[in-house]
Structure 1
Amino acid sequence: MRVFIMVAGAFTGAHVWQETAERLVAAGSAVHSVALTGIDPDRPATPSDVGLETHIEDVIAAIDAASGREIVLVGHDYGIHPVLGAADRRAERIARVVYLDCGMPQNGVPALAAVPDQALRAQLAGRAEAGEREGVLAPPAGDEWERWGSTDGVGEAALERLTALAAPQPLGTLFQPLRLTGAVAAVPVSGVLCARNGATIDQVQRLVDFGDPALAALTEPQVTFFELPTGHWPMLSCPAALAEVLLRAADGAGHRLRPAGGETTAPAHLRPFPMDVPELPRDRRGNVDLYVPEGEGPRPAVVFVHGGPVPAGARPSPREWPTLVGYARLAAAEGVVGVTLDHGLHDIADYDRAAADIAAGVERVRADSRVDADRVALWFFSGSGLLTTDWLIKPPAWLRCLAASYPVLAPLPAWGMAGSRFHPARAVDQAGALPVVLLRAGREAPEIAATVDAFVTAAADCAARLELVDVPNGHHGFETLDAPEETVPALRRAMRSVVTHLAR
């Protein structure tokens, strides 16, 4: 008989698995929902006595009790840390490890690194550095669970029960590093991504396509992926669908990722720009590349800001991607200087650094003698949409237009940025007369589309100068994903609108 050993995330206990477990049992499997010491009420302990190693031992005990059975370990959120620790020490007993909407913990790294709320993570890191390692982290109140992940799909009653049964998390479980020998690397793996929490298979494939060697292991044949259209707690929002996915994962089914460079066609970010543009050479200056039209200057400029996060080792770097270069050359064809720019958005925690890189790059562009320093536009893409915030707040006089293509315009739930300053919808009422051109993808991912809708509503409420350019059948990254007849008219309209604002 197959047995699923399930380990819950921070603050939560074995009770969260009840409905999923019932469905797995009905399908003929055995289930053991691990009661974690110091969190589950039937395993009380003094917090100072509880660390990650304690929970690893809890999982090992469950593995040892499942003698002679095919074992599938399931770790949700924090639960993946004790799951991996136990699997590393009992690798020969484990048929598969399932990562349920969680990160990829590494040897020597504590679970603190996976705390999604960036402000809380920094606060806890300070406590760890000060030697405060024996306390607890209070569980979220009813309206605070979103700081730990999207509650999409979780009903009011389920959320109330989750809150009522939540327990303080011993700090030792977050501060104690995970220790792995490497044995767990041989165990087959499945990842279950929760799309409403901001993670999709397509996004992971794009990260792999960037060529980051750290992600190459995700393309191994023994690694599969599933996606659920729900928030961070699928055992509460869709237990039947989760049970079905877990059974399929145990059978070795699921989506397999393509290795970087393994496609017969280029990955999306390296496919050709959909328009014919002049083959102007690039002029590299620091972190910017300029594409300067022939003729006398100085001329207005459009600075194109790539999205992200993009792994630091991605090659070619974003400013060389065909889409960004195509936009820059299209701008040059309209008589203005087109600029592509690299910045340091390599991780969700890097928005401050990326903002500084962009500001420095823009000043480098404005200082160029071929550029009219008083006539500059900024054009943002995808995840860099949050970086429009600084430019919406009291925009400088030289900023004549701000544009964005399929942008993310509010932090997604899993990004842990609820208190962040990077929130364009809250800043648009300070944009004054700044024109904003927004290219909107009609088939955008729902979680991103919701941020765009909120921005559009906020812009209407404050009578901002917002121009919407719709691509009704367009997807996120539509330039290289969708038919040119769908995208080219929108690109031409948006570019000419931006250039018109620069000329005023």
Structure 2
Amino acid sequence: MATFVLVPGAWLGAWAWEETVHGLRERGHSAFPVTLTGLAERAGQGGPQTDLETHIADILDLVERHDLREVTLVAHSYGGAPVTGAAGRLGDRLERVVYVDSAPFPEGMRVLDLMPPETVAELGRQVAGAGEGWRLPMPPLEVVGLTSSLDGLDERQRDVLRARATPQPYGTYTQPLAGPVEPGAGVDRVLVACHDFHALLEAGVPELAALTQPPWRRFDLATGHWPMLSTPGELARVLDQAVS
């Protein structure tokens, strides 16, 4: 059986993985959902100093505190940035990385580098105006990501997402990812592509071309950007399949 460490995307906490964790544990796996500093029940621990290195340290701390071995490290969305950093530092504790509607980050990249300049400028205004200079409130769901992001979320699930989301420490977006970022050569590499990411892969985005080739293995999920909320049981099944 596998040992999963599940890292959520921006604005989320360990709560987002609850049903997927239940599905994994039912299948006999160990599952450790992470809440990163400054988010959810750890919102009070964040501050202007909270950055990407803070979130990488959160992941490393959980693995070391529980003395986890043969870890399957799962990243959703923004979680791809700290997971990439952690994967490069876990050494032989790491067996597998799984990116859910996400991808590994190259060394030196910022989360903001994925966005056009006008979006970056607008985020900066939101942080300055409503985030006390260091927090990014979650935008309205209708403007987050691509049109297909909300696929599979009913009104109840959308309400839960709105109600439980917490502002993201903005330093996690502005700090470049420091190395090392490459996991060991023998680490298994898995991509779970939902509608958003599937569209990018089909469009042939050059930066993602490597993810369509070995050693990467790919699983597709017919849902939007938050499969742990829209199809948590199916996500658990796919993760189980990926480690079997």
Secondary structure at 1:89 match in 2: coil
1:188 to partner: Cα distance? 1.9
Task: Report the CA distance shift for 1:41/1:22 in structure 2 as closer, same or farther (over 3 A).
Answer: same
Secondary structure at 2:45 match in 1: coil
Instruction: Work out whether 1:177 is the aligned partner of 2:186.
Output: no
> 1:270-309 counterparts in 2 under 5 A?
none
Cα distance in 2, alignment partners of residues 158 and 213 from structure 1: 32
Cα distance in 2, alignment partners of residues 233 and 37 from structure 1: 21
Instruction: Work out whether 1:105 is the aligned partner of 2:98.
Output: no
Task: Report the CA distance shift for 1:201/1:28 in structure 2 as closer, same or farther (over 3 A).
Answer: farther
Cα distance in 2, alignment partners of residues 192 and 248 from structure 1: 11
Cα distance in 1, alignment partners of residues 139 and 199 from structure 2: 26
> 1:100-499 counterparts in 2 under 5 A?
100-115=100-115, 119-124=118-123, 134-141=133-140, 143-145=142-144, 150-184=149-183, 186=185, 187-195=187-195, 197=196, 199-200=198-199, 203=202, 206=204, 215-216=209-210, 218-220=212-214, 222-251=215-244
Cα distance in 2, alignment partners of residues 137 and 191 from structure 1: 27
1:227 to partner: Cα distance? 0.6
In the alignment, residue 229 of structure 1 is paired with which amino acid?
A
In the alignment, residue 12 of structure 2 is paired with which amino acid?
T
In the alignment, residue 235 of structure 2 is paired with which amino acid?
L
* Aligned residue pairs, count: 240
Structure with greater proportional helix content: 2
Cα distance in 2, alignment partners of residues 245 and 201 from structure 1: 20
Instruction: Give the TM-score normalised by the residue count of structure 2.
Output: 0.86
Deviation string, structure 1 residues 44-92 (Cα, Å, up to 9, x no partner): 2242121011110110012113425321011101011111111111132
Higher alpha-carbon Rg? 1
**5+ residue gaps in structure 1?**
252-504
Q: Percent identity?
A: 35
Cα distance in 2, alignment partners of residues 149 and 86 from structure 1: 29
Larger RCO of the pair (alpha carbons < 8 Å, separation 6+):
2
**5+ residue gaps in structure 2?**
none
Cα distance in 2, alignment partners of residues 213 and 160 from structure 1: 34
Secondary structure at 2:166 match in 1: coil
1:137 to partner: Cα distance? 1.0
2:39 and 2:46 in contact (8 A); partners too: no
2:101 and 2:197 in contact (8 A); partners too: no
2:70 and 2:92 in contact (8 A); partners too: no
* 1:53 aligned residue: 53
1:215 to partner: Cα distance? 3.3
1:182 to partner: Cα distance? 4.4
Instruction: Give the TM-score normalised by the residue count of structure 1.
Output: 0.44
Cα distance in 1, alignment partners of residues 117 and 238 from structure 2: 30
